[in-house]
């Protein structure tokens, strides 16, 4: 696998090749993901729930994100490495610059991800102006779970769908170079993927996004409790973690995942 960059992923979008992404929180899992051909690795603040056992992502600190990003970077050689900026670590452009610089300088990230639409435009501009690549995140935003009233599908009505689409376009104009869309109707995600020139990565957003991401513990069936609709366990019948990850990569590349079963209308 050749080294993946933001430009590589942009080219993949232009050529219609699906982009694969999974989360990782340590060097060992990262080596497995790379061996399976995963294009991009996300050090998600989801570690708060799947690694730390928290009820949400909110307690995760910047120090913890830097630590896990650094661990992943040690195992990474070819995948594009993205790190989440945790809750309340980018309340202002100045704070965002401090957080992002730590994730890149100390953690080794190539890109940072932040949640939010119109309210984050100035922050995205400032990060971009300072040479920090940004991945935006719209739809269901886990850091705003209490404001949203729970883990619910977003953009189901005409007004909220219009707002998400407008925010997506504004974030691209502000300098975002990638967008994650979480838990939105497939039709809306397809439309946003068409109108944006940057890669759109879906999670519970249908097969027509430019790529897909899942929490690695979810797609290996490790996570306990109720699974989100968009999750598929690739472990049964695979025989090994490596084979399960390879099956995920192949299913995304061949547009066999997600199916309607794992999507929202």
State how far the Cα of 155 lies from the Cα of 149, in Å rounded to an integer.
14
Give the 3-state secondary structure of residue 144. Answer: helix
pLDDT at 146: 59
* DSSP per-residue codes, 116-130: -SGGGHHHHHHHHHT
Q: Which of 84-98, 109-123, 132-146, 192-206 has the lowest mean pLDDT?
A: 132-146
Residue 256 has pLDDT above 80, yes or no: yes
Mean pLDDT of 126-136: 98
Residue 149 has pLDDT above 80, yes or no: no
pLDDT at 1: 65
- Residues 50-79 pLDDT 10s: 999 999 999 999 999 999 999 999 999 999
| pLDDT > 70: percent of the chain | 98
- Residues 18-27 pLDDT 10s: 999 999 999 9
Q: Is residue 1 part of a domain?
A: no
Any idea what the CATH number is for the domain that residue 233 is in?
3.20.20.60
Mean pLDDT of 6-35: 98
**What would the two tokens of residue 199 be?**
């890669």
The b/e string for 166-203 (b: 16+ C-beta within 10 A; e otherwise) is ebbebbbebbbbbbbbbbbbbebbbbbbeebebbbbbb
In the chain, how many domains are there? 1
- Residues 196-221 pLDDT 10s: 999 999 999 999 999 999 999 999 99
Q: Is residue 194 part of a domain?
A: yes
Tell me how far the alpha carbon of residue 46 is from its chain's centroid. 10
Q: Is residue 162 part of a domain?
A: yes
Q: Is residue 229 part of a domain?
A: yes
Catalytic residues: 182
Instruction: Please provide the average confidence, as pLDDT, over all residues in the chain.
Output: 96
**What is the domain extent for residue 156?**
6-262
Q: Is the dihedral of CA 132, 109, 257, 1 positive or negative?
A: positive
Q: How confident is the model at residue 29 (pLDDT cuts 50, 70, 90)?
A: very high
Tell me how far the alpha carbon of residue 167 is from its chain's centroid. 17
């Amino acid at each position: 696998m050749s080294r993946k960059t933001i430009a590589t992923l942009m080219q993949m979008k232009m050529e219609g090749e699906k982009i694969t992404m999974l989360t990782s929180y340590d060097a060992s899992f990262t080596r497995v993901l790379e061996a399976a051909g995963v294009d991009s690795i996300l050090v998600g603040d989801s570690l708060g729930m799947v690694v730390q056992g928290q009820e949400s992502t909110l307690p995760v600190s910047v120090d913890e994100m830097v630590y896990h990003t650094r661990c992943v970077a040690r195992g990474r050689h070819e995948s594009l490495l993205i790190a989440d900026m945790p809750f309340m670590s980018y309340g202002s452009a100045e704070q965002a610059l401090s957080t992002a610089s730590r994730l890149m300088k100390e953690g080794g990230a190539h890109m940072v991800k932040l949640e939010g639409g119109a309210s984050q435009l100035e922050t995205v501009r400032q990060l971009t102006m300072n040479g920090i690549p940004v991945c935006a995140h719209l739809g269901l935003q886990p850091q705003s779970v209490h404001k949203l009233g729970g883990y619910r599908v977003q953009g189901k009505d005409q007004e909220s769908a219009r707002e998400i689409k407008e925010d997506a376009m504004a974030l691209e104009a502000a300098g975002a170079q990638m967008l994650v869309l979480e838990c939105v109707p497939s039709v809306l995600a397809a439309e946003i993927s068409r109108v944006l020139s940057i890669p759109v990565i879906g999670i519970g957003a249908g097969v027509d996004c430019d790529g897909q991401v899942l929490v690695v513990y979810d797609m290996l069936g490790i996570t306990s409790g109720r699974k989100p609709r968009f999750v598929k366990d690739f472990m049964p019948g695979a025989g090994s973690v490596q084979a399960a990850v390879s099956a995920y990569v192949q299913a995304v590349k061949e547009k066999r995942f997600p199916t309607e079963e794992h999507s929202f209308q």
